[in-house]
Amino acid sequence: MSVDDNTPVLRGCIKLPLDRDELVEVTSKAKDYAIMHGAAMRSKTSFSPDSLNFAPFVLVPSSFPRKEFEKAIALQPIINRLMHNVAHDEEFITTTLAETIKVDEFTANLFNIYRKVLAHGFTQRISLGMLRSDLMLESRCPELSPLLDSSAGGGDDDDVDADVEEQEQRRANDAKAKTKAKGKSAKVGGRTSSAYCCWKQVEINTIASGFGHLGPASKTIQSFVLRELGHAEKLQRMPKNDALACLCIGMVRAWDIYAKPQAVILFIIEDVSYNICDQRFHEFYIRENYPHIKVLRRTLTEVHREGKLGQHKELLLGSTEVAVIYFRAGYEPAHYPSQGEWDARYLMETSLAIKCPSIQYHLAGTKKVQQALAQPSVLERFINDPEEMKAVGKIFTGLYSLDDNEAGNANYEMALRTPEKFVLKPQREGGGNNVYGVDIPDALKRMSRVERSAWILMDLIHPPLSQGYMVRPGGDMPPQIVDMVSELGIFGVVIGDAEHIFHNYQAGHMLRTKLSTANEGGVAAGLGALDSPYLIDSDDEDGYF
């Protein structure tokens, strides 16, 4: 991570450090609280299907500017629609990925399925998108960014279903988003500098967008901790988070559309699910609130063994018909150890089941497509409203092609000259695949010109720091105060076909926080920690250090 002495620090939600005895006491309680409320994972080092460790978490919530949070929430339905339109633009997907699939076998395999499905016609024209747009505050952008003025949020915690409907209605009636300019400054070590001026999208996920449960669970742990520490009044600044319910309702809506009472929802899972709570809670939510809908879990290998198509191309596992397929696996090469798993993916794509994601949605979520979308003229193709286009255009940081052409080669030279400004990304998901800063030249030089087109280059984002205690299984007790940076993910649900969108709503959020020195912050990968936003306002007297 690019952090230096000038990196601004967001003011914490409570005064630190805590008294040592108080810290030990509250940390021990919070660890147990986390396990007992399902903020947990299976251990990778001593795996047992019979036990859980608590998931790493930040003890008290990290600050996040309210205006930026609300802007991200308000923008999500627009991003949902954008991704839906991209997924249904055959020409755009085909042209954008043309160079990449020549050298990236995994993307080529996915594309091959797409091509075959296109050739035969889509059996199921409706897709279920459960997206997550990941973003970071940018503390170094040279100008102050206009922000989207939002009226999103509010509502009653108890009635999530009604909330989703209300949100869809509000958006449908919504006037164009207004924009207004605003600035922000922070005092760092006596100097005044910008704490952030906008946020930038890190990536958009269209497959296996996790933390629908762990997002809200983080808020639960941190609310408990704040209450234990005598700061119950702070809870009002932690925004409500119905991610689990909103995502599950998305699956239920898709199931309703399929309209076969006996058909089930199928979760496609890895051979070993370490992040088990973040899958089972979805299943349990559906079973508890919609007990007439059955949920099955299968690996791709099992689908290959058990799956077949019925008379009307319905997906059958034995004699059980599948209405909706929710992929929590299938996004990386290791999930396809043999041709059998690819055959299973193809079988599902050609079936009548509604898929999350369908193959076109999966391809729309590739880094290469994200890079192509960030080019100014491209958004026009997918967004009609000029205000919306402007608002979405602003969330992209510089994204550059490395294709073997004049522009790509110029970008390659730029990366060699100033690598510290960039992140180099392949067409992979799940963390741990990117190359950062000074490591970029060596990585690029090892590739042929053609191989480079499987990668994209992205401006490094410089989020402000926050300081707090990160609690991990086997970590220091009591934990030390560390410098951290956060990444906010906003969930969105969109259901529709090429002509219509039937449902489109923002579906809650998650915050992941990592040590400021770490490049990546995947919680399942062991680098990040669960967190949730503590919203601070520009007119807070003590908003920032």
Query: Would you tell me which residues interact with ligand ADP (CB under 6 A)?
Result: 134, 202-203, 423, 425, 428-431, 433-434, 458-461, 487, 520-521
| Per-state percent for the chain, helix, strand, coil, to nearest 5 | 40, 25, 40
At residue 527, what is the residue type? L
Residue number, 431 or 441, with CB nearest to Mg ion: 431
Residue 425 CB, nearest approach to ligand ADP (Å): 6
- Write the burial class of residue 418 (CB in 10 Å: 0-12 exposed, 13-18 middle, 19+ buried): exposed
Residue number, 203 or 388, with CB nearest to Mg ion: 203
Q: Which does 355 bind (CB under 5 to 8 A by kind): Mg ion, ligand ADP, none?
A: none
Q: Which does 433 bind (CB under 5 to 8 A by kind): ligand ADP, Mg ion, none?
A: ligand ADP
DSSP string, 128-185: EEEEEEEEEEES--SSPPPEEE-------TT-HHHHHHHHHHHHHHPPPPEEE-----
**Tokens, residue 83:** 């991704």
Candidates 64, 61, 57; CA nearest to 463 is: 64
Residue number, 203 or 403, with CB nearest to Mg ion: 203
Residue number, 204 or 323, with CB nearest to Mg ion: 204
At residue 293, what is the residue type? I
Which alpha helices (H) appear in 64-127, and where do they start and end?
66-87, 90-97, 100-103, 105-120
Residue number, 68 or 429, with CB nearest to ligand ADP: 429
Residue 73 CB, nearest approach to ligand ADP (Å): 19
Q: Which does 521 bind (CB under 5 to 8 A by kind): ligand ADP, Mg ion, none?
A: ligand ADP
Residue 149 CB, nearest approach to Mg ion (Å): 28
Residue 309 CB, nearest approach to ligand ADP (Å): 32
Q: Residue with CB nearest Mg ion?
A: 203
Q: Which does 487 bind (CB under 5 to 8 A by kind): Mg ion, ligand ADP, none?
A: ligand ADP
Residue 365 CB, nearest approach to ligand ADP (Å): 9
Backbone phi and psi for residue 188, each to the nearest 5 degrees, phi listed first: -120, 115
284-315 burial: b if 16+ Cβ within 10 Å, else e:
bbbbeebeebbbebbbbbbbbeebebeeeebb
**Whether 354 contacts 128, CB under 8 Å:** yes
Residue number, 155 or 430, with CB nearest to Mg ion: 430
Encoded one letter per residue, x for contact with Mg ion by CB under 5 A and - for no contact, window 171-210 reads --------------------------------x-------
Residues of this chain that interact with Mg ion (CB under 5 A) are 203
